[in-house]
Amino acid sequence: MSKPVPATDYLAKPDSYPVRPVCVAAGDDPFLKRQVLETIRQEVLAEEDAEFSLTVFEGPKATAAEVFEELTTVAMFGGDRRLVVVDEADEFVSANRPALEDYVAGPSRSGVLLLQVKSWPANTRLAKAVAAEGLTVQCTAPTAGRLATWLRKWAKQAHRVALEPAAAEMLVELVGPELGLLDQELAKLAVSTGPDATISPETVQQMVGSWRAKTAWDMLDAAMAGDVRQAMSQLDRLLLAGESPIAVLGQIAASLRRFAAATRLILQTEASGRRPALKPALEEAGVKQFVLEKAQHQLRQLGRHRGAVLYRWLLETDLALKGDSALPPRLVLENLLIRLASPEAKQPVG
C-alpha cells in the first residue's frame, strides 16, 4: 500500500509515480490540482489528437453510470487510452462509494479515472483501495516556512530561471502564499529576464513591488492606526484595479502573522514571570529592522487581546474568501480591516 504523494514531489519527478487506472488529486490548492491534471493528461494523452479522449465531468452533476461508460468507450479520434476527470468530486464520491470500490478492484485498462476532491480520509475502504491499486496525490500548498524553498525549485523546473533565496522570500512577502499568483509573477519575471537568468531581490522589487504592494501596505498601516476611511479607500483602489481579494489578504497576512507571533511570545514571557519587551519579540517573530520602530508602535495599538486572536481572524478570513462564507469577498476584507482599526479599550501589549 502506497502513501499519498505530495503534489510538489509528484510534479518534480512524475516519472517516479506512474499513472494508474484510478488516480486521486486530493486537497484544497487549485494551482497544484491544475498542475497535477496537466501532468497526468500529458502522460495519458500523449498521442496526436488525443484530446478527443479527454472527458471532464462536473462532480455534482455526474452519475457513476456515465462516468464508467466513458471510461470503457474508445474515442473515434485520438489515442487508444481515455482520461476521464471528475471535477469537484466530493459529492460524487459520497454518492457512489460502493460502485467506485468495485471499479477500483477491476478498472478498465483502456481508461484512467481522475477524481479531484477536497477531502479524502485515508481510513475509508475506497481510499485504502486506491492506495493499494491507484495513485493518490495530495494537493496541499507548502507551509509558510517551506514556501520560499518550493518557489526556488518551481522557478527552475517550470520557468528555467534561478531565484536567489532572498528574492524568493521577497516574492512571497509581496505576493502572498497563493501558489497560482506566485507562478504568474514568476512567469512575468522569466519572460523579462530570459531563460537561465538569475533573479535577484532587486529585480523582484523593481518588477513585482508595484503600487499594488505599496497600496496594500498603506491600507494595513491605516487600519492599524485606526483610520478606517483611509483603509477602505486603499482597499477600493486595489479591487478596482482588478486585484484578487485573496491576493490582497496574502499581501498583508505575513505582517499580521508576525504581530500574532510576537504577541504569543510576549504572553509566554509574562506567563513565566518575566517582563516582556516588544522589540526582541518582534525581531524573533521575523520583523525586519527597517520597519521595527513602526511595528512596535502598531503592536501597542493592536493590544494583547486582539494580537492573541490574530491567527484565528486570518484563518477565518482566508476560509471565507475561499467559499466558506456567503459574504462577498469585499465585505470579508472590510470586516478584517474594521477589526484591526477598532481596538478594544484594554491593556496594550508591552
| DSSP 8-state assignment for residue 307 | H
Across the chain, the runs of DSSP E, i.e. the strands, are: 5-6, 22-26, 54-58, 82-87, 111-117, 135-138, 162-163, 198-199
Please check whether residue 111 is in contact with residue 69, taking contact to mean a CB–CB distance below 8 angstroms: no
List, for residues 56-105, the tens digit of each pLDDT value: 999 999 999 999 999 988 665 555 688 999 999 999 999 999 999 999 99
Q: Residue 210 — very low, low, confident or very high, per pLDDT cuts 50/70/90?
A: low
Residue count (the chain): 350
Which amino acid makes up residue 348? Answer: P
pLDDT surpassing 50 at residue 346: no
List, for residues 162-178, the tens digit of each pLDDT value: 999 989 988 887 777 88
The dihedral through the CA atoms of 295, 297, 301, 305 has a sign that is positive
CA-to-CA distance for 164 and 155, rounded, in angstroms?
A: 10
Report the interhelical angle of 64-72 vs 97-105 (nearest 10°): 20
> Model pTM?
0.66
pLDDT surpassing 80 at residue 303: yes
CA-to-CA distance for 228 and 235, rounded, in angstroms?
A: 10
Using CB atoms within 10 Å of the CB of residue 99, give its burial: 0 to 12 exposed, 13 to 18 middle, 19+ buried: middle
Count CA within 13 A, CB hemisphere, residue 319: 8
Sorted by where each starts, the structural domains of the chain and their CATH numbers stand as 5-138 (3.40.50.300), 144-209 (1.10.8.60), 212-341 (1.20.272.10)
CA-to-CA distance for 226 and 219, rounded, in angstroms?
A: 11
CA-to-CA distance for 36 and 134, rounded, in angstroms?
A: 15
